[in-house]
Chains A and B, each alone.
Chain A
Amino acid sequence: KNEVEQSPQNLTAQEGEFITINCSYSVGISALHWLQQHPGGGIVSLFMLSSGKKKHGRLIATINIQEKHSSLHITASHPRDSAVYICAANSGNTPLVFGKGTRLSVIA
């Protein structure tokens, strides 16, 4: 069974800082997802990747298949980035397995 671990569990940053959230998984995967859960509870998909790197605005997601590791980076962080960031992965034709999330607080 795939296990997904995230670090850190909690992260506090000053506005403008570069932020990195890490995700490790235990078995080979088909896809790695990054999601954002807003303080109000809503969940949105940020990225889905199986190799390399994807960028959307100030968010960058990378994955290293050999090391079974992915990172989510936020450049020039802003208080509106405060949320829980969730990593999820699936292997083969199986449903997603989710990490427990990283709670990010960005202070102005």
Chain B
Amino acid sequence: NAGVTQTPKFRVLKTGQSMTLLCAQDMNHEYMYWYRQDPGMGLRLIHYSVGEGTTAKGEVPDGYNVSRLKKQNFLLGLESAAPSQTSVYFCASSYSSMGISSYEQYFGPGTRLTVT
């Protein structure tokens, strides 16, 4: 049982390049989330998904797209990276049924992205 895994762990991009971050969970969780963490700020929600095939915008969605084609995977895409997207990205997952955020969230190890 690997929990929540993220690929890659580190990445350096040039401005304008694109990339996809992959999150996978093996706990059969319905809800999945993408957060970014920046110095001096709390975790901020980028996008989330309440089930396979559904996604929703979080607090800071601009410049990102997501897809949830399979229940166990949640992909975060940057179509044209900008230096402002330099951050540590965390994926998380949780059970549902009581409503979003009413169950503990399980976090991946994070992806450190630098955009130059």
Contact = CB atoms under 8 A, between A and B. Distances in A.
Contact of A41 (B43, B45, B59, B109): B109
A30 to B, nearest CB: 6
B99 A98 contact: no
Interface size band for A: 20 to 34
How would you classify the secondary structure of chain A's contact residues: helix, strand, loop or mixed?
strand
Contact of B40 (A43, A94, A100): A100
Contacts of A94: 100-101
Interface string B25-38: 00000000100000
A59 to B, nearest CB: 14
B42 A86 contact: yes
Nearest to A95: B45
A87 B103 CA distance: 14
Interface of B: 33, 40-45, 48, 58-59, 88, 90, 92, 99-107, 109-110
